[in-house]
Structure 1
Amino acid sequence: MTDLSLTDLAAGTVVKPGDPEWDAARSFHSGIGEPTVVVRASSVDDVRAAVRYASSERLDVMVRGGGHSAWGAVPGGVTLDLDALDSVSVDGTLVHVGGGATWGAVAAILAEHGLGVSSGDTASVGVGGLTLGGGIGWMVRAWGLAADQLVGAQLVTARGEVIEVNDESHADLLWALRGGGGNFGVVTRFDFRAHALSSVVFATLGVAGDARPVLRALRDTMKDAPRELTVTYMDVPEMDPSAPGGAAITACWIGDDEDAARAALAPLLALDGVTETDLGVRSYPDILMDMPAADPDQPMPGFVGGNTLLADLTDEAVDRLASFREANQASVLFLRSLGGAYGDVPQDDTAFPARSATWFAMAGAFDIPGLVHDDNRPLIQAEWDAIEALGEALYGNFTVSTDPAMVSRMYAPETIARLAAVKRQWDPQNLFCRNHNVVPA
């Protein structure tokens, strides 16, 4: 197959260096890429043609949905832009979502039907990347991961064939798609089982003073909290006047019962230094954040730290996390409660790791000249490494690293072996390697 196969596609579908639309085509939410060619797919047939072309030319494929992935910055290869494949259709509680859709648009359409799918925190994030990587969202304790709500998919294989994936057809592949990333093909349609959702109660609690007693109380409160409640703790530095710093607890309660939500949060509100700043009924789409696209003139600084899935938020973990934030002026600390439906799923039922985890934790220092120096950068990383050692696995969706070694920190050896066997069956040449890559067995 030659390049003529791509030029047969509709005008504007294939964009190359030098074309008028090149700069726009190679830009993605998190930066600007340097691919060999960009294919803006408007149909499944476009996807098939792009995959077959890439295979014939021995070019890697980078699938782009929402464009938040760091893999878009890796040079070369075929960038396959699925932005136009963004349809959403609802059949009862079964929801069919195009591979290029973003969660904000999906949530808005589902809200019209009184439905919801747990989908992360950010409106512009792509359905594909979040789901294939697992998807820890606001309803994770009630409904599990986004991947746990995935019941089927339409996928274009490395051979350019279109297959339907579900529990009855290619069950091994569906297992891999539930947390194994984009290693196995291009998902052009996701099928989710949605849940009844009229509204949510969303609360913000301001936090002042020592984080340690607050985090211990948060841990103890969530041990017996109703599954309707999921919480986060975030402490961020003041970066500019539009982004005030400080610590806060945010909470999402499924439904419109403000009294029940406030009762569940009562142990936290009784703490010194914790105040209720906002609590009220919202539509689910309204609580998803808007994240501005990257500004090429003001690139984001590096990040020294990481994330981990913790079986328990022990006193040692609390102290280390709080100390990390205190020791590094320009650093961020983020925690999200797990458990509930997340932990109901047997470990072997999906590729996603650490089903015994009850907390997700992330911390890191922004690598800003004058605040982080060459001599203390390794010390900061060592501080984080000691925290990560307390956890069970790294969550791939929350790292911007493209280091191949990340995979061994994401999955247990037996899971990697099983993923590698599925990879060998569906992508033996490793065409789909622009991800947290599992090498074919």
Structure 2
Amino acid sequence: MQLPPLDALTAELSGLIAIPSLSADPAHGDDVDRAAAWVRDAVVRAGGEAGVVTMAGRPLVVGEVRASRGAERAPTVLAYGHFDVQPPDPLELWESPPFELVERDGWLYARGVADDKGQLYMLLKAVELLAAAGELPVNVRVVCDGEEEVGGHTVVDWLDRDQRLADAAVVFDSSYVERGVPAFNVAVRGVCYLHVTVRTGTRDLHSGLYGGAALNAMHALVRTLDGVLPRDDGRLPEPLREGVSPPTAEEVAGWERLPSGASELAAAGARPSDPRGAEEFYLRTWAEPSLDVNGILGGSPVLQKTVIPVEAQANLSIRLVGDQDPDVIVAAAERLLRESAPAGAEVDVEVWTASPPGLVPVDAPAVQLALDAFEHVLGVRPLLVRTGGAIPLVSALAARGVPTVLTGFALNDSNIHSPNERLPTEHLTLGLEAACELFRRLGRLR
């Protein structure tokens, strides 16, 4: 089977790129719907059936392309991607129109070309080409949403209602470690977001009249937070580490080929949190839970105002890993906060959001077949890495025992979410070729 020439691929992709499907802007609701229709039609062009389902006011494309032969016995693969994009602002920093696909100096430029329209297109086109050639060995179920960029949850809600299991899932929405070094993400962190309020009386007080005798809410908050903050070794208190799963030897070996933690921190303009923060960079950001105070509110941090604050607030995010249960960790965090609070302080903890982590077993047949497929096409075996971010769909699939191949063809300098978003030109055809080989190999699952 021969791939179409690059100009034919870019011409087709341009149609999807041209739709300003900004999920964050209600004024572009119709454009998000148009992008959903484009994806639906792409599934139909591949010989499948598809429709657009509206969930929570957002479009979700659900469809399927059946295997070329023996569909009843063929493995089933779930393919996911999102067709919404980030706003292109600030427009003046773009060197070409954001919704016009332009090739320049070995790069394809446009909003969504890397995140995620261009990568979703690779999967959809691979299915179409294999089906047209009568070589599609798997049933491909397609589910794509238009709210990933605003943290939507409908695809997970759909999965919860869906009674059909897949043998594997494929998501192209990630990047290489660096040029020439592809990667598979085999774990995502979950997240618990807490809002903590500490009260120490009925009203703010004059610090000259009551200072040293009255309980200060800001002081109480600091002492309260100390109960959950990392210890001297960089680890969280043990109750917040329940369910941690150590990385495999194969993963750790791959991490040793990555840029040093010191260089990663320096590139981000950051400083190590403790003496071993840089040395343990990948372990801590991928395989260990973490807790960060994201904001504190109280008192008068700007104007000169000599008061003893009666109320102080903080937002906390706890990143979860391995087999950690959000409910268990939230309960442990609340207990530690209350135990650490000084006498007389009233502590209120609100849970604003919580989602579990997801861990894909690296020895799963689907993962190993996918690694073989990429190595065959790219000439190098992808590294097994984890991501510190939360991807609820991957977590939901992991909970149902469906291994996910989470990978992609963007680069660290693809300017994702920034002006002049770009994808290496050769990666469009390379990704398409890898997707074709991936579906072929996954046909061996049964």
The interval holding the TM-score normalised by the smaller chain is under 0.3
- Structure possessing the higher radius of gyration over alpha carbons: 2
TM-score by length of 2: 0.25
Relative to the length of structure 1, the TM-score reads: 0.26
